[in-house]
Amino acid sequence: MTDKQARRIAEFIAPLRVEPGSKVDLARDFDPRYRARLRKRDSTELLRTGVSLLAEYQSRLAAQDTYGVLLCLQALDAGGKDGTIRHVMSGVNPQGVRVSSFKVPSAEELDHDYLWRYARQLPARGEIGIFNRSHYEEVLVVRVHPENLDRQRLPEDARGRGVWKRRYREINDWERHLCDNGFPVVKIFLNLSKEEQRTRFLKRIDLPEKNWKFSAADIRERAHWDEYQRAFSEMLSATSTSWAPWYVVPADRKWFARICAAAVLAHTLIELDPRYPEVGKAARKELLAAKRQLEGEAPEGAERDPYAAEHGD
Ligand code: AMP
Ligand code: MG
């Protein structure tokens, strides 16, 4: 990774970042069809570069034990969360990645505070945790459908009008705590247009092998489009922070969304710059002693160190 590459990635994702403290109006500020003048025919190569970069950094992340990374993916239905995870993470070692998908909360989950179920799925040091939907549902679907809030059985005085502002604050504080303790939080919103959602729903209905991806609930949610846009705009304004900024990724073109998602995650890993642990003096001595022992075990006619012999050092 050269400084120039790192700078190019930083410049590429800059227009997607929600400036902390700014007031977002999704429809006005972010175009779901933006493509930074890239062409689809160049996308395969670009994504391949991104994927191999991520593979290298993930391997370095897994080798150290100070940092873990949490990637939160939010989108409306058919926004492309599943496909983004599949493509962007296609090169990384599955041992170092943990994907958690959040659905309607269970009875057990409702018996706890609203952040509990997300906290239980956090990555360990060395891991990349991916949240397919995240704690942000608590200020999105729960806000658009307040009966979800009733089910959470909050104390009387915590249910009032200030509940969303308070949740924004709690979420910001929680993410700050995670960042301060070695777990940077990367937040991506896949920004889909209403017309592209219509097209993708129709595709799911028209193709039998896609039918399972469609449910009648998707149409019911679509009817709340404007409320979701408002909830997203307000959430992005309130929770894009200097320690965990939001990235609004244009999602109408899947190929572009995947390149953006890879670039945003790569940017965080580059900044983190995880290193393979260096072996100290004592350990180095042990390695050399083991090397001498193994060389001594070479059978008649074999190289003392076949690896060094083949690789010429
Ligand atoms: P999917 O991601 O398509 O499998 O759908 C998961 C469903 O769970 C979506 O309809 C979400 O709105 C819903 N969901 C996720 N988190 C919550 C939550 N905290 N409260 C209520 N519904 C949720
Ligand atoms: Mg769905």
For residues 200-213, average pLDDT? 97
Calpha distance 307→313 (Å, rounded): 9
Amino acid type, 219? I
The verdict on the CB of residue 123 being under 6 Å from ligand 1 is no
Neighbours of 161 (CB within 10 A): 6
Residue 189: predicted pLDDT: 98
Q: By percentage, how much of the chain surpasses pLDDT 70?
A: 100
pLDDT at 135: 99
What's the one-letter identity of residue 110? L
The pLDDT-based confidence of 1 (bands split at 50, 70, 90) is: confident
pLDDT category at 6 given cuts 50, 70, 90 is: very high
| pLDDT digits 0-9 by tens, 115-156 | 999 999 999 999 999 999 999 999 999 999 999 999 999 998
Looking at residue 219, its pLDDT comes to: 97
Band of the pLDDT at 312, cuts 50, 70, 90? confident
> What is the average pLDDT across 63-82?
97
The region of weakest confidence among 13-27, 55-69, 147-161, 188-202 is 147-161
Task: Check if 37 has its Cβ closer than 6 Å to any atom of ligand 1.
Answer: no
Say yes or no to pLDDT of 160 above 90: no
Choosing from 117, 133, 138, 218 the residue with most ligand 1 atoms within 8 A of its CB, the one to mutate for a pocket test is 133
Give the pLDDT score at 97: 97
| Residue among 134, 137, 151, 192 to mutate when testing ligand 1 (max atoms within 8 A of CB) | 137
- 227, burial (CB in 10 Å: exposed 0-12, middle 13-18, buried 19+): middle
What per-residue confidence (pLDDT) applies to 161? 84
Quote the percentage of the chain above a pLDDT of 90.
96
Structural domains of the chain ordered from first start? 3-272 (3.40.50.300), 282-311 (no CATH)
**For residue 99, pLDDT beyond 70:** yes
Average pLDDT value over all residues in the chain: 97
Q: How many CA atoms lie within 13 A of 117 on its CB side?
A: 22
Q: What φ, ψ does residue 232 adopt, rounded to 5°?
A: -65, -45
Residues facing residue 72 across a β-bridge: 131, 187
pLDDT tens profile 276-301: 999 999 999 999 999 999 999 999 99
Using CA atoms, how far apart are residues 126 and 27, in angstroms rounded to an integer? 38
Ligand 1 contact, 216 CB (< 6 A): no
- What pLDDT was estimated at residue 313? 61
Note residues around ion ligand 2 (Cβ under 5 angstroms): 77
124: Cβ below 6 Å to ligand 1? no
Quick: pLDDT tens for 229-265. 999 999 999 999 999 999 999 999 999 999 999 999 9
Q: In 3-state terms, what secondary structure has residue 38?
A: coil
Q: What pLDDT shows up at residue 140? A: 98
Residue nearest to atom 5 of ligand 1 (CA): 103
Determine the pLDDT at residue 258: 98
Round to whole Å and give the CA distance between 40 and 105. Answer: 39
Cα end-to-end span (Å), the chain: 25
Asked if 32 contacts 191 with a C-beta cutoff of 8 angstroms, the reply is yes
The ligand 1 atom at the shortest distance from the C-alpha of residue 77 is 3
- The CB of 142 under 6 Å from ligand 1? The reply is yes
Environment class of 145 (CB within 10 Å of its CB; exposed 0-12, middle 13-18, buried 19+): middle
Q: Measured from the CB, is residue 105 less than 6 Å from ligand 1?
A: yes
Q: Say if ligand 1 is within 6 A of residue 212 CB.
A: no
Average pLDDT over residues 166-178: 98
Strand (E) or helix (H) holding 97: strand 97-101
* Mutational pocket test of ligand 1: of 76, 77, 101, 104, the residue with most ligand atoms within 8 Å of the beta carbon: 104
CA of 222 to the centre of ligand 1 (A): 14
Nearest atom in ligand 1 to 217's CA: 10
Question: Structure tokens of 195?
Answer: 């017309």
Average pLDDT estimate for 172-180: 98
| Structure token digits, residue 38 | 């890239």
